[in-house]
Chains A and B, each alone.
Chain A
Amino acid sequence: MNTSIELPKRDQVIARDLAGPAKAGLVIGVLALAATALFGLGYGDGMRHFGHSMLVALLFFLAITIGALFFTVLHHLTSAGWSVVVRRVAEAITGAFPVLFLVALGVLVIPVIMGSSYIYDWASHDFVYGGGDFPGSELIQAKGGYFGSLFFGARICFYFLVWVGLSRFFAGQSLAQDDDQDPSRTLKMQHRSGVSMVLFALVTTFAAFDMSMSLNAEWFSTMYGVYFFAGCFWSFLATLALATMWLEKRGNLKGVVSIEHYHDIGKLLFAFTFFWSYVSFSQFMLYWYADIPEETHWFHYRMWGEWTNFTLLLAAGHFLIPMLGLMSRHVKRRRGVFAAWCIYCLVFQFIDLYWNVMPEMVNGVGMGDPATTGPAFGMIDITAMVSVAGLFLFGFLNKLNGKPALAIGDPRLPESLAFQNV
C-alpha cells in the first residue's frame, strides 16, 4: 500500500545457523547446573543455598520470558503498529517457556512433592505444625491446603501450561503468517488477545505469590503480583533491545530496525523504571507507615541489619540512577550507550530478585536471623545464573533458528518500518 517503503525479502531476514549457539547454550547450561549442584553440596546446608540461587536465576529468566509474552499479547490487544519489527524477537523469547518449565519442575515442584523444604519453609511439616525446634505457625496452618505440596505442584504446572499455550498460539500464528501473509490471522490474534491478557494477568500474579512471596509464607502483600510484573516487563525491554541489536549485527534485521524503534523501547524502559519505583515505593511506604508487625517484618530484616546497604543500593540503582540516565533522548538514540543501559537494567533486575529471595534463605528454617546474616554472594550464584541463562538461550535460539527474525507477513510491517519519533 505504500510504495516508498521497501519490504525486506524473506531470505534477508532468516536467522540461520543458530543451532550451534543453541546447543552451546544447552551444554553450558547443563554443565553449569552440575557445577552449581556441586557448589551447593559444598555449603553443607541441605542444598538450601543451591535452591535459592537457582530460584533467583529461574525467576530472572522467567521474568524476561513473561515480559516477552506480555509484549506480544499487548501488541495485539492495542493493534500496535510500531512494534511489528521487534515482535518476532519477543515471540522467540517466549520459546524459552518449556525449558524453564523443566527447570521449575526440577528445582521447585519435584523436591517439594518429595517432601523437601530446602526452598519453601512451608513444605516442612515441623515448621508449620510445630516440632523439633519450631513452635509452628498458626498463620500458615490457617492457609490449610493451599500450601499442600501436590496442590502447589499442580498450580505451577498450570501456570506454565497457560504460558506455553499462549506463547505457542501467538508465535504459531505469526510464523504461519510469514508464509501466507493472511491478514485474518492478525484479526484472529487481536480477537483472542483480550482473553489471553486476562489469563496472563491472573496466572502471573499467582505465580509471583507462589514462587516468590511464599518464601516467607507468613508475609503477604496484595501488590506483590504487580511488583513482580513491573520487573518482568522492565527486564524484558532491556533484553529485547539487546537481542535486537545482536540480530541486527548478525545481519538478520539489518536496515529493518532503526534507531526510532530503540528510542521507543527506551521510552518504555524509562516508563517502567518509574512504574517499578512507584509500585515498590507504595508497597514499602504503606507497610512502613502503618507499622503492623506481621507486615513490617519482611521489610525489617531487609532494611535494618546486614541488608541495609544492599537495600539502599537497590533503591538508588533501580530507580534514581536509571531514571536520570534514561531521561535524555540522546541516550536512547545511540545504540552503544543504550545497550550499556540495558545491561545495567538487567543487573539491577537481578539485584531486585536477589533482594527478594536471598534474605529468606536464612529466615525460617533454622539458619539464623536474616538481619544479622547479610548477603552471601558466591560463585554458586554466578553458576546458577549461567546455568539458567544457557538453558534460556537454548529455548530462545532454538525457537528462532531457521525462521525469519522479522514478522514479514504482518500487514502492519510497512507502518512499523516507516515508524518515526517526532
Chain B
Amino acid sequence: MSDQNQNSSEIHGVVGYYSDVDGIMNASRKIRDAGYKKWDAYTPFPVHGIDEAMGTKPTILPWIVLGMGLTGLCVGLGLQWFTNAYDYKFLISGKPTWSLPANIPVTFEVIILFSAYTAFFGMLALNKLPHLSNPLHKLERFKRVTDDKFAICVESKDPNFDLARVSKLLGVGSEHVETCPIDTTKAALPIWFHGVAAILTCASFIPLALAFKGRFATSEKPQYHVWPDMDFQRKRKTQTAWEGFPDGRAMRLPVAGTVATGELRDDFELYHGVAQGTAVPASVRYDAALFGSAAGADRPEWLAGFPAAVVVDEPFLERGRARYGIYCAVCHGNQGNGVGAVALRAENLDAAKWGWVPPKALHSDNAKAYSNGELFHIASNGISTMAGYSAQVPAKDRWAIVAYIRAIQATQALDPSAAPQDVEFQPVPTIDSVRVSDSGADGE
C-alpha cells in the first residue's frame, strides 16, 4: 500500500486490484452494500452480472434512441414531402409527387441513420467521453486493466470516503491496493497538437464560407471551365454558320436531284389529301383561304373519300381508334368531345389568357363539314394552337385517324330515343359542362 499519510483531499481515490472475475464481483458487492456512490469497477471486458453486483441502474439510452428514431421518421418523410411534393414538383414515371411506396426506402434509411448516430454519440455523451485526462491512467499498474486485471476505484469525492475503511474493504481478496493522486499536470497532449487542431478547425470552415458567399454574390467573370474539352467540342452544331464551307453553313444540303429513301411522296392522295396531279397545298398550319366554306378560288381539290392506298375496313378503324387514343385523346377526349386531360388542365389554368384555343369537339357541325382531305391536312399540319402530327404519325395512320373521326361523328348522330330501354342515356360532357367541376380533372 502506498503512502498512508496522504491527505484525502490530495488523492483522487483508492484503487484495489483483483486477478479474476470472482474477486471483482465480491468486492463490488461489498462496496455497493457499504453504501458508496462515487466508485466504479474497471474491467478489460464487460463482466456478466456486474451491473447487479454494482447496483447500476439501466441506462436511458434506448429511450433516447427511440425518440431520435421517431424524429428520423418525421425528418425522412418531411424532407421528401418538402422537396418533391411541395417545393419542386415534377412528374416522373407517372408516380404521384407524394407517393408513399416510393418514399419508404429513404424514410427507413433516415430512421436508421438518426437512431444509429444517437446510439453511438449518446453512449459517448452519457459516458462523458472523450475524456483524455483521467488520473487513473497515470498509475502504472492500472494499465493492466485493459489487459487481464480488474480494479475498483472509490473516489475521495464520495461523502462516506474514509481512506482506512475503504482500503480495508478493497483489500479483501485483492492482489494490491494503492491510492491514486490527483492529476496535477495541465495538459496530457503536447502544445503543437492544440495548435494544429485549432488551425484545422478554422480551415474546415473555409469551403463552407465560400459556398455561402457564392450563393449570395454575383460575378462578372465568365464561368470557370474545369475540363474545357467538354464545353467546347471540336464539332459544328446543326443550323450554325461555319466558314469552312463555301456557302458558310455548317450543314449540307441533299445532293441535287436526289430523294431520301421513303421521302418520294408522289402519291398526292395519300400524302397530301388532294386529287392526284392537282396543286399541292403548302405544309402550313392553317390558311383560311384553303379551307371550308370561306375558301377562295385556289382552294385545293380536297379528297372527299380515302386514298386508294388505304383500305377502310374494321382493322383499319381499330388502328385509327388506337392511334386516336394515343395522339388525339389527350386533348380531344376519348369521345371526341374536346374534353381531354390537357383541355381540362388548360381550362383549370385559364390558359386562354396565354392565347390557348380549346380543342374542338370533333362531332360538331363545323368539323363534320370538313372533307376528308381537309381533316387529313389538319391532322398533318395543325390548326390554331394544335401542332401538326406528320412527324409522329405515318400518313396511313393519319388516314386511319380520319376514318375514326368519321366513325365518332356517325355514332354521335344517333337518336338517344332509339337506345334500348335498359340503357341509361348519358349525354357526352362538353368542356362547358365540366369546367366548374374540379373532380373531373383526372377524367376520361
Contacts and interface: CB of A to CB of B under 8 A. Distances in A.
B101 A285 contact: yes
A219 interface: no
A45 interface: no
A288 B94 contact: no
Contacts of B94: 291
A289 B101 contact: yes
A281 B102 contact: no
B48 A422 contact: yes
Contacts of A289: 93, 95, 101-102
Contacts of B102: 285, 289
A31 to B, nearest CB: 45
Interface string B100-116: 01101000000000000
Contacts of B48: 422
| Residue from B48, B95, B101 whose CB has the most chain A CB atoms within 10 Å | B101
Interface in A260-317: 281, 284-285, 288-289, 291
A281 B105 CA distance: 10
A291 B94 CA distance: 9
A258 B20 CA distance: 30
Q: Which range contains the number of B residues in contact with the other chain? A: under 10
A289 B100 CA distance: 11
A422 B93 CA distance: 49
A188 B95 CA distance: 55
A288 B95 CA distance: 10
Contact of B104 (A285, A291, A422): A285
A183 B208 CA distance: 68
A289 B101 CA distance: 8
Interface string B349-361: 0000000000000
Interface string A361-387: 000000000000000000000000000
A202 B104 CA distance: 31
Interface in B371-397: none
Interface string A233-244: 000000000000
A420 to B, nearest CB: 9
Contacts of A281: 101, 104
Contacts of B95: 289
B188 to A, nearest CB: 35
Contacts of A288: 101
Nearest to B51: A422
A293 B95 CA distance: 15
Interface of B: 48, 93-95, 101-102, 104
13 contacts: A281-B101, A281-B104, A284-B101, A285-B101, A285-B102, A285-B104, A288-B101, A289-B93, A289-B95, A289-B101, A289-B102, A291-B94, A422-B48
Given A289-B101, A289-B102, A291-B94, 10 more contacts: A281-B101, A281-B104, A284-B101, A285-B101, A285-B102, A285-B104, A288-B101, A289-B93, A289-B95, A422-B48
